[in-house]
Amino acid sequence: MNTSKKLPMSRNTLLTLGAAVIGLVLLFVFDELFDRFTMQIFKLCAINIILALSLNLINGFTGLFSLGHAGFMAVGAYTCAILTMSPEQKEVNYVIQPIVPWLANVQFPFLPALLIGGLLAGLIGWLLGVISLRLRDDYLAIATLGFSEIIRVILTNAMTFTNGSLGLKGLARFTTMWWAWGSAILTTLFLVLLIKSSYGRAFKSIRDNEIAAESMGINVFGMKVLSFTISSFLAGIAGGLLAHYLTTIDPKQFIFLKTFDILLIVVLGGVGSITGSVVAAIVVTISMEALRFLDGPLNLGFMVTSGVPGLRMVFFSALLMVVVIYRQQGLMGKAEFSWDALSRIGLLPRRKSKSEKGGR
C-alpha cells in the first residue's frame, strides 16, 4: 500500500490520462478513416453534447425548467454567421433588402465570431434570467418558450439583419471535427469542474430545496441567473458551431422542436448527469440518423409500406414518454461515470479500499 502513495499520480489520474490519449488518437483515426457522411454525424454528436450539457446545467443541476434553448442557439448561430461572412457573401445573400451598413463590411475569423455569438447569447440569457427567473416551474417554462418564439419571429422579420425567412446560405465550413469535438470536450471538462465547485453545490442545493438553500445563505436568485447565463452562453456557442456545420441557417430551424430534441437527449441520459447527457447525445444523434429508414418505404415481410415521413419522430416522442413514465431517472439518473464505479461493478480490477489505507 505504500507503493501506491509513492507513485507520482494515482491510478485514476493515470487512467484518465490514458483514456484522453486514446480518445485523441481515435479522433485522429476517425478523421482519416471516415467518409464525409459519417464524419458529419460524428460532428453533430459533439454539437449535441454541448447542447445537452448546457440544457442539463439549467434543467438538471439547477432544477429550472427552461424551454428556450432554440432561441439561444439561434442568437449564437446568426451572430456567428453574420460576423464570419465576407462582404461579398453578404451582398449575394441579402437580395431583398441589403444588410445594415455597419455590419456590411465586418468580417471576423471563426473563433472571435463564435465567442461573440456565445457572449451575445449569454447576455440575452442574463437579461431574460433577471426578468423571468422570479417565476417558478411551469411559468418559467412557458416564459422561456415564449422568448424563443419571440427570437424566431424577430429573425424572420428583421430583414436587414438576418435576411428574414430566406436565411443565410453558403457559410464557410469552419466546424471541422477538431473544432466540434474540441468544444465538446472543453464544455464537458468545464461542466465537471463547475459542478464540483462551490457554485455547482449551490446549484444542486437550489434544485433540491430552494428554501433550504436560501436559509443556508445561498444567493438563490443570483445563482439561478448565473446558471442560466452560462447555459445560454454554451447554447450560443453550439449554435455558432451548428451554423458553420450546416453552412445554411434559416429561422425555421430554430423552432421549438429543436429544444425538444435536446430535451429528449437530456431526459434519456438522466436529468442531472453529465455522463448521461454525453452518452445519450451520442446515442440519440446516431440513432436519429440510423432510424432514417423508418421514414422511407418499409418492408414488413408481408407488405411494403410506401414511406411514411415522420415515423422516426413518432418513435422518439413515444420513447421519451415511455422513459418519463417507466424510468424517470433515464440512463444514468444522477450518477456519474468514475473509474471507481467501474471497478465496483467488476470491469476494472478492484483497488484497495480506503479503510485499508488508513484514511486519506
Partner 1 sequence: MDFQTFLQQFVNALSLGSLYALIAIGYTMVYGILRLINFAHGDIFMVGGYLAFYGVSTFLMPWWMAVIVAIALTTVFGVGLERVAYRPLRDSPRISIMISAIGASFLLENLAIVLFNARPKAFPVPEFFARNFILGGVHIASVSLIIPLVTAVILAALLWIVHRTRVGMAMRAVSTDIEAARLMAIDVNRIVSITFAIGSALAAIGGILWALKYPRLEPLMGIMPGLKCFIAAVIGGIGSIGGAVLGGLLLGVIELMTVAFMPELTGYKDAFAFVLLIVVLLVKPTGLLGKNLGEKV
Q: Which residues bind partner 1 (CB under 8 A)?
A: 59, 63, 65, 67, 131-132, 134-139, 141-143, 145-147, 149-150, 153-154, 156-157, 211, 256-257, 260, 263, 267, 271, 308-311, 313-314, 317-318, 320-321, 324-325, 328
- Nine-digit cell string for 141: 417554462
Q: Are 19 and 256 in contact (CB under 8 A)?
A: no
The dihedral built from the CA positions of residue 104, 106, 112 and 118, taken in this order, carries a sign that is negative
Which one, 10 or 317, has the nearer CB to partner 1?
317
What is the separation of C-alpha 93 from the centre of its chain, rounded to a whole number of angstroms?
A: 29
**Min. distance of Cβ 89 from partner 1 in angstroms?**
25
User: Which element (helix H / strand E) includes 79?
Assistant: helix 69-84
**Min. distance of Cβ 199 from partner 1 in angstroms?**
21
Which one, 259 or 275, has the nearer CB to partner 1?
259
**Min. distance of Cβ 138 from partner 1 in angstroms?**
5
**Min. distance of Cβ 255 from partner 1 in angstroms?**
9
Type of residue found at 249: I
Phi-psi region of 272 (alpha: psi -120 to 50; beta: other; left: phi over 0): left
Which one, 91 or 137, has the nearer CB to partner 1?
137
Which one, 106 or 123, has the nearer CB to partner 1?
123
Helix ranges, the chain (H): 2-6, 11-33, 36-56, 69-84, 87-93, 101-104, 110-132, 137-157, 159-162, 177-196, 198-208, 210-215, 220-246, 256-269, 274-290, 311-326, 339-344
Neighbours of 216 (CB within 10 A): 11
**Min. distance of Cβ 125 from partner 1 in angstroms?**
14
The whole-angstrom separation of Cα 332 and Cα 272 is 9
**Min. distance of Cβ 236 from partner 1 in angstroms?**
20
**Min. distance of Cβ 110 from partner 1 in angstroms?**
31
Which one, 46 or 264, has the nearer CB to partner 1?
264
Which one, 63 or 269, has the nearer CB to partner 1?
63
**Min. distance of Cβ 132 from partner 1 in angstroms?**
7
HSE at residue 39, side-chain half, CA atoms within 13 A, is 18
- Nine-digit cell string for 279: 452518452
Which pairs with CB-CB distance under 8 Å and at least 24 residues apart come from 23-26? 23/185
Which one, 211 or 345, has the nearer CB to partner 1?
211
Give helix 274-290 / helix 177-196 axis angle, nearest 10°: 150
Which one, 128 or 185, has the nearer CB to partner 1?
128
DSSP character at residue 291: G
Q: Is 321 helix (H, G, I), strand (E, B) or coil?
A: helix
